[in-house]
Chains A and B, each alone.
Chain A
Amino acid sequence: MKRKAKERSNAKLAAALLLPSVFLILLLIIYPMLVNVRISFFEQSINPNIDPVFIGLENYISILTDLAFWQSLGITLLYTFLTVAGSTVLGLAIAILFNRPFAFRKVSRSLIIASYVAPTISLVFAWKYMFNSGYGVINYLTVDIFGLFETAPLWFDEPVLSFVIVVIFAIWRYFPYAFISFLAILQTVDRTLYEAAEIDGASAWDKFKVVTLPAIMPVLIIVATLRTIWTFYIFEDVYLLTNQVPVLGIYLYETAFAFNDLGKAAAISVILFVVLFSVIIISRKRVSLNGNG
């Protein structure tokens, strides 16, 4: 009886606490989302005075039979995997490095997140400036000073090289997010646990596996999942850096805002939603099968 009553009062409280979030999300995410699902079955002009034409699955068919879409999907999945893995591992490593007292800790700690908080457009232009074939410092260092290359590589033109640069850029840009999230949780890990492990003669790796990893696991999952979602839809970073890496975000953007084909763009976003949903569900299942979920 008592338990039931408690649950009921809990439910009431939960409803009250969740109300603002749920209301805003319903109104400003779910409703627009449903609108998009609807128009994905229409040929929709951007002129509201031209009536949309119902075309059934035509938008979906034209996307799924488009080779460019599949290529783009492949590139995006690889890009997402490398970026998420790279930025999460790097962020974690640096968080562990920073999780101790040392001189200039405060200053270092805020400087290290600089790449995360600076506006994308600034960072992209700074990189392009550094890689410029005429006056860029990268070519100057690698060719003229260190002689690593005879002639400077075409950084943003060779598809593989551009892909590598775009991935490195994303890891560099986004690792601080993982860093601050991990640093926050690492600070809650009890020091005595490490001491106890040390007494047992555990190596650094053992300590990481036995103490650190279980403690940070929930945050790790969240960080990796969120970063996957964000990276999957990445647009601006890649679009501004190079034309050689056609990720899905660009495909989507161009369909909607260069070709003004809102119906097809909506269909793309529905398909991508399904893809992303499956990717995340499958990978989360695997994580929980491994027993750490």
Chain B
Amino acid sequence: MKKVFGLAAALGLTTGLAACGGEEAVSEDGSVTIEFMHSQVEQERLAVITDLVEKFESEHPDIQVEQVPVEEDAYNTKVVTLASAGQLPEVLEVSQDFARVMAKDQLIDQEAVAAAIESVGADNFYDGALRLISNETGDGYLGLPISGWVQGIWYDKEALASKGFEEPETWDEVLAVAEAFTNPAEDQYGIALPTEESLFSEQAFSQFALSNNANVLNAEGELTINTPEMEAALAYYQELSQYTMPGSNGVTEVNDAFMNNTAPMAIYSTYILPGVFEQGNAENLGFAIPTNETSAVYGTVSALTITAGVEDAEREAAQEFVEFMAQPENMTEWVLMSPGGAQPVSDLVTESEAYQSNEVINAFGDLSTEIASSFEEIQIFGLVDGQNFLKAGDISSSGAIPKMVNSVTVGEQSVEEALAEAESAVKEVIQ
């Protein structure tokens, strides 16, 4: 053992080696290379981005853009590792949740992002999208929105009509439909509802909570998990879960149950559209938004952000590239990588010829516009009166809310107990 530690001295060498691992000089012949990290790993999507990058490079011959596609499952790990080594790519695609996490560690160059948004024009984006990615003080942004998705209640129009129902709007109507279709003996359930201990359940539950004016933080940034409004929402979710498939339902369970007609309603993101389109059922799909005190759509934006602490030349190039990607025709191409699934975050895209004429978008007709405009109604946990609290990122990372949802739907816990437990778990994380 002594020997092993004695060898530590010899390792001074390797420390030195590791220390000189800084990035290569920015410019040799005046040209700048920047890296662009994104999560579009699928081959067809990569091809689209490669085209965009080539187009950019031909417009900016002095800038090279290298793509770093990273699988979603490895995104966090990779960002943490690269960031610790000071090797984070200059431009990153991030979700709003991840943007908050990065902002907390001061990894985002908010000035550069603001400059990019300003040069494109902030009013070109949906307010809803910009709100999601705004910074804590509400006077800046953590990224430039490029696409997004929304989540709501999808329903089978024909099935609902067969029992005399129309689009369910209020909590009670959703419950009534769900009850009418549930018959466990025949494997029939009213609604495919996420109950798994995962982010998906948090997202679904948040729609009901926010539609009852219950948020996890108030305008002062104080924790408000254990309130009568939240309790009512959780009790409602528990009641609704009687009419969903038994056990923990996650993305596959919910999607598959809706697609194989186990349930005529499902809470899912717009990524249900491609599958429905493929089945040839586009016209039969309806979209409802949970409404009680108010209506709440859940949604996320995917944004391009610029890394803090890079050299000026790289920073300028990064800004240049982000602005390029925000051009309507380029954003349209980005969104149409997964038509229907990914949603526009700008009118300029929604109204563009290329977007309107896409066969998937077309097939859903008015529904496409309805979904796109629902972006304005997006509400998320931790976003209160235009303030996007960074600690909401920690609340989410703590996993307390999914656990709470899971324990009252699949587990046997009471609503009060689950709320109290979630509250104390979150308190521990945000101190």
A residues touching B (Cβ–Cβ < 8 Å)?
26-27, 30-31, 34, 45-50, 128, 132-135, 151-152, 154-157, 243, 254, 256-260, 262
B106→A259 contact, CB < 8 A: no
User: B86 near A243 (CB under 8 angstroms)?
Assistant: no
Docked complex: B71-123 residues within 8 A CB-CB of A: 76-77, 79-80, 83-86, 101, 105-107
Question: In the complex, which of the residues A46, A49, A243, A257 has the most CB atoms of chain B within 10 Å of its own CB atom?
Answer: A46
**Smallest CB gap from B15: residue in A:** A31
CA distance A3 to B406 in the complex (A): 70
Tell me if A45 and B256 are in contact (CB < 8 A): no
Given A134-B257, A154-B410; A47-B106 close (CB under 8 Å): yes
Binds A, one of B28-36, B156-164, B241-249, B322-330: B241-249
Chain B hits for A254, CB < 8 A: 397, 399
Closest to A153 in B: B247
Stretch at the interface among B5-13, B206-214, B279-287, B380-388: B5-13
Q: A260, B80: Cβ atoms under 8 Å? A: yes
Q: B residues within 8 A CB of A135? A: 256, 260
User: When chains A and B are docked, how far (Å) is the Cα of A50 from the Cα of B76?
Assistant: 19
Q: Does B203 contact A (CB under 8 A)?
A: no
| Min CB–CB distance B394 → chain A (angstroms) | 8
User: Contacts of A154 on B, CB cut-off 8 Å?
Assistant: 246-248, 410
- From B107, B245, B411, A133 is in contact (CB under 8 Å) with B245
Residues of B122-172 whose CB lies within 8 A of A: none
How far, in angstroms, from A50 to B107 measured CA to CA in the complex?
A: 10
Shortest CB distance A165–B (Å)? 13
Contact of A48 among B8, B15, B84 (CB under 8 A): B84
Cβ-defined contact, A134 with B187, below 8 A: yes
Chain B residues within an 8 Å CB radius of A260: 80, 101, 105
B333 surroundings in chain A (CB, below 8 A): none
- What would 14 A/B residue contacts be, using CB atoms closer than 8 Å? A30-B4, A47-B105, A47-B107, A48-B83, A133-B245, A133-B246, A133-B253, A134-B256, A154-B248, A157-B410, A256-B80, A257-B77, A258-B397, A260-B105
- Known A-B contacts A26-B7, A46-B80, A154-B410; the reply to A128 vs B245 at CB < 8 A is no
Give the shortest distance, in Å, between B399 (CB) and chain A (any CB).
8
B85 touches A48 (CB 8 A): yes
Could you list which residues of chain B lie within 8 angstroms of chain A, going by C-beta atoms?
4, 7-8, 10-11, 14-15, 76-77, 79-80, 83-86, 101, 105-107, 184, 187, 196-198, 245-248, 252-253, 256-257, 260, 262, 308-309, 394, 397, 399, 403, 406, 410-411, 429
Q: When chains A and B are docked, how far (Å) is the Cα of A48 from the Cα of B11?
A: 21
Nearest residue, chain A, Cβ from B78: A257
Q: B406: which A residues are within 8 A, CB to CB?
A: 157, 243
> Nearest residue in B to A240 (C-beta to C-beta)?
B73
Instruction: Enumerate chain A residues within 8 angstroms of B187, measured Cβ to Cβ.
Output: 134
Bound-state Cα–Cα, A258 to B429, Å: 12
Asked if A128 and B76 sit within 8 Å, CB to CB, the answer is: no
9 interchain residue pairs of minimum CB distance: A243-B197, A154-B247, A46-B83, A48-B86, A47-B105, A133-B247, A257-B77, A31-B11, A257-B76
Minimum Cβ distance to chain B for residue A25 (Å): 10
Q: Residue on A with the closest CB to B250? A: A128
Taken together as a complex, chains A and B put the C-alpha atoms of A154 and B244 apart, in Å, by: 13
A260 to B15, CA, bound (A): 23
Known: A30-B7, A30-B11, A154-B410. A46 touches B84 (CB 8 A): yes
- Tell me if A's interface is mostly helix, strand, loop or mixed: loop
Most buried by A among B11, B86, B184, B245: B11
Tell whether A262 pairs with B84 under 8 Å between CB atoms, given A46-B105, A49-B106, A134-B262.
yes
| CB nearest to B7 among chain A residues | A26
**What is the bound-complex CA distance between A154 and B248, given in angstroms?**
8
Task: Compute how far the CA of A46 lies from the CA of B86 in the bound complex, rounded to whole angstroms.
Answer: 9
CB distance from B426 to the nearest CB of A (A): 13
Q: Which residues of B contact A256 (CB under 8 A)?
A: 80
CB contacts (< 8 Å) of A134 on chain B: these are 187, 245, 253, 256-257, 260, 262
A132 close to B8 (CB less than 8 A): no
B-side contacts of A45, CB under 8 Å: 105-106
- List 14 additional A-B contacts (Cβ < 8 Å) besides A132-B253, A254-B399: A30-B7, A34-B11, A45-B106, A46-B80, A46-B105, A47-B107, A128-B252, A134-B253, A134-B260, A152-B246, A243-B198, A257-B76, A257-B80, A262-B80
Cβ distance A84 to chain B, nearest Cβ, rounded Å: 25
Q: How far is the CA of A260 from the CA of B78 in the complex (A)?
A: 11
List of B residues within 8 angstroms of A243 by Cβ: 196-198, 248, 403, 406
**Cα-based distance from A259 to B84 in the complex (angstroms):** 14
* Interfacial chain A residues near B429, Cβ < 8 Å: 259
> How many Å lie between the Cα of A48 and that of B82 in the bound state?
10
Complex formed: what's the CA distance from A134 to B249 in Å? 10
Q: Could you say which residues of chain A place their CB within 8 Å of the CB of B76? A: 257-258
> How far apart are A219's CB and chain B's nearest CB, in angstroms?
26
C-alpha gap A154/B197 in the complex (Å)? 14
Which of these, A26, A31, A157, contacts B247 with CB under 8 Å? A157
User: Which partner residue on chain B sits nearest A152 by CB separation?
Assistant: B246
> Which residues of chain A are near B15, meaning CB under 8 Å?
31
Chain A: minimal CB distance from B211 (Å): 26
Query: Nearest CB to that of A258 among chain B residues?
Result: B397
Contacts of A151 in B (CB 8 A): 184, 246
CA of A155 to CA of B76 in the docked complex: distance in angstroms? Answer: 29
Residues of A near B262 (CB, < 8 A) are 134
Residues of A within 8 A of B397 (CB): 254, 258-259
Which one, B4, B77, B106, B411, contacts A50 given CB within 8 A? B106
| Among candidates B248, B256, B399, residue contacting A156 with C-beta atoms closer than 8 Å | B248
A260 to B257, CA, bound (A): 35
| Chain A: CB-nearest residue to B197 | A243
Q: Known A134-B253, A134-B256, A258-B397; judge A47-B83 contact (CB<8 A).
A: yes
B4 to chain A: closest CB distance in Å?
7
B306 CB to nearest A CB, Å: 15
How distant is the Cα of A34 from the Cα of B106 in the complex, in angstroms? 27
How far does the Cβ of A119 sit from chain B's closest Cβ, in whole Å? 13
CB distance from B10 to the nearest CB of A (A): 7
CA of A49 to CA of B108, assembled, Å: 12
Residues in A whose Cβ lies below 8 Å from that of B77: 257
Query: Smallest CB–CB gap between A29 and chain B, Å?
Result: 11
Specify which chain B residues have a CB less than 8 angstroms from the CB of A128 in the assembled complex.
252
**B10 contact set on A, CB distance < 8 A:** 26
